[in-house]
Structure 1
Amino acid sequence: MRVLLDEDVPEQVLQVLRHVLRRHTVDHIHSIKWSGKKDSQVLHDAVGRYDVLVTNNYRQFDDPDETSKIKKSGIHHVSYRQRQSGLTGLALAIGAIVASMPQIMADLEVAGGQRLVAIRGIDPTKRFTITDPRRDPPRYWPR
């Protein structure tokens, strides 16, 4: 399948997705010189060239005209939200995209028609634990 990353998707994710989605073609709007195109023009131009659009513009469905154009395109629409700003938000967004896309692509390959996918963000407070071995040593910690 052919995947297009919208211009609001961090460019840093392009090479990582190309690595984890080796059976697929992954392009970024910047790399194909479509920067600055309106969403409706991107959808129009992507028909027949791309199967999947990945975007941070999760609010597209708030606009009935844009929703109609997404439907008409027939392109799978994958959206995510960057809930935090700065480098932490960027890292969480990239992590969520990269972790989700292999399974999303597997599901889309067997889908019988257009799908709308919403990537759930990574919760930064539940991704790891920190232990102070002086206060609460794990059972494997030498005493």
Structure 2
Amino acid sequence: MSTAAYPESWQRLLDLTGPPSPSMTLASAAPSGGGDLQHTPKPWNDAAGAAHSLRTDTDTAKGSLTSAHAGIDSGTDGLSSVTALKAVLKSWEERLAAVRDECGSLEPKLREVARTMGSTDHAVQSSIAGYADPAPADPKGR
């Protein structure tokens, strides 16, 4: 990268940086509609669907666990293992409820990200459309 256009001290610094990198542009700003940066709502919506499924499955599992332990007190008077079993059941019910609630909270947030990013991409593309292909100047240079 040697050129006589720069003083020697500047040229040494430029040589240290390596070859120039290609310019960085937004995909939506590229005149041909191309570019490297692309947004799609699919991953966000897929994650929201997974959160919904996990919420439903966790709620079902919690219900099944609770039902399976129904009637544990009958005929088990005096067994210390019943007390321990009830403590474990309560702990699992709380954990499953926390997962269910977190997934229920997460799903709409993930869907909102997909919507917001899509509208932001559109707004950015619209706002810079005139810069990508500016109108030619009139013959007088105005």
Report TM bin, short chain. under 0.3
Q: Which has the higher helix share?
A: 2
Between 1 and 2, higher relative CO (CA 8 Å, sep ≥ 6) is seen in: 2
Q: TM-score scaled to structure 1, two decimals? A: 0.21
TM-score in terms of structure 2 length: 0.21
Q: Which has the higher strand share?
A: 1
